[in-house]
Amino acid sequence: MSEAGARDTAAEVDAARGRQAARRVPGAFVAGRVLRPSTKVLPEHARGHNRALVLQTLFTAGQQSRADVARRTGLTRVTVSDLVGELIAEGLIVETGQRDGSRPGKPATLLDIGRTAFQVLGIDLSDHSAFRGAVLDLTGTILERAEVPLAGRVGDDALATVFELADELVSLSTRPILGLGVGSPGVVDPDGVVLEAPNLGWADLPLRSLLAERVGRPVVVANDANAAILAEHSFGNAEGDMMLVKVGHGVGAGLLLGGSLLSGGRFAAGEIGHVVVGTDGGEECSCGKSGCLETWLAAPRLEARIRRAPGQREAILREAGRRLGIVLAPIVGALDLSELILSGPPALLDGTLAEATRETVRERTMAEFSGDLVLRMTTLGDDIVLRGAAVMVISAELGVS
């Protein structure tokens, strides 16, 4: 068949296919992603999506009129009005009066998230000394705090302590509870089962369902570093692909790629603490290997090393930063990360260590050319996991992050 022949035939078939081009699955190969459709989609799913879209728009832009939202989302004013009506009835959106300033036309009625309609509970299990909790509003502002010392409890005792903290948070709340979010150390599956958390002596603990039964509200449980990076994403106005490294008793990370949290095939994504760094041995690790990243970077190890040789403080921190950079460089290169965030004790991380990591990653990747690799401390301090836990709930219940 001639070239022209093939083309004509194709054009004819296109015509025969009628509207199919316009109907093409949106995003089938958008932004380099291939979607493999796996579940049916019904019209009501579209409704849910558009509901979340309206909420999301108000979350990020805030103080918008129905017409503004319509323009921003591409939905018609009529549809937005309908969705907003539904959301107002649920208390998730409130009218906040008319827009001031003089413009032609009927004045716009401004809308905002109904901050007081619900409260969210967040729990952070990642600290070695205490379980910490908070009551937050729908915008992620912390309203109340609670804390229960851990005192070395593990296993069922630790679980009882979580229950205790959850109960206290429920009693501290003054509005209907949208849900409870928990950031836990260890490996957590999508159903909120803590597959393993050695520090707490947990294995295959169905924490989500246990807590859901206890508080009678939706519960989301995820890894603490994953919660942290969600917080950074939502509140730290960080865009695009990024990785958050959380240094504490151990070392873990959360990865946000293309706006999606990476969970990993065995739900262990971000578990970089036991990756071996360098080929020159290193301290023995609790996992049995030598030279794991944790042996270089975990806070207790660093503190012990500095205690032994106070004069070497800067050198110790620089070496720790360099080791972190060596582990991160292949990851930054492979994932084309534009932003690395550190979370943990600022006294250890902020300064020499961060600088050494930044330099090492730059030296060992192409980042020196693209030049825009950012490595910085989190802006959310110690509340990062708490606020991330709240984000998970808001995201799960309202489809908004």
Partner DNA sequence: CGGAGTTCGTAAGGTTGACTTACAAACATG
Partner DNA sequence: CATGTTTGTAAGTCAACCTTACGAACTCCG
Contacts (CB under 7 A) with DNA, residues 65-124 = 65-68, 74-79, 81-85, 102-109
Pick 99 or 376: Cβ nearer its own copies: 376
Shortest Å, Cβ 88 to DNA: 9
Q: 248 or 252: whose CB is closer to its own copies?
A: 252
Residues 14, 345: Cα–Cα separation, whole Å: 61
CB-nearer residue toward its own copies: 145 or 175: 175
For the chain, how many helices (H) and strands (E)?
Answer: 15, 16
Binding region for DNA (CB under 7 A) out of 59-67, 258-266, 279-287, 306-314 = 59-67
Q: In angstroms, give the least distance from the CB of 398 to DNA.
A: 15
Minimum Å gap between C-beta 168 and DNA is: 38
CA distance 113 to 93: 5
* Interacting residues of 125 by C-beta distance below 8 A, sequence separation 6+: 131, 162, 182, 183, 184, 185, 200, 224
Contact call for residue 40 and DNA (CB under 7 A): yes
Q: If contact means CB under 5 to 8 A according to the sort of partner, which of DNA, its own copies, none does residue 333 touch?
A: its own copies
74/101 with CB nearer its own copies: 74
174: CB partners within 8 A, 6+ apart: 119, 135
Q: How far is the CB of 283 from its own copies (least distance, A)?
A: 15
CA–CA separation, 340 and 264 (whole Å): 19
Q: How far apart are CA 224 and CA 248, in angstroms?
A: 11
Residue 103 interacts with, from DNA, its own copies, none (CB under 5-8 Å by kind): DNA
Residue 374 binding result from DNA, its own copies, none, given CB thresholds of 5 to 8 Å by partner type: none
Strands 374-377 and 339-343, bridge-based pairing: parallel
Taking Cα atoms as reference points, which of 392, 382, 381 lies closest to residue 211? 392
Say if CB 98 and CB 110 are below 8 A apart. yes
Q: Tell whether residue 50 is a contact of DNA (CB under 7 A).
A: yes
Residues that bind DNA (CB under 7 A): 23, 40, 42-44, 46-47, 50, 65-68, 74-79, 81-85, 102-109
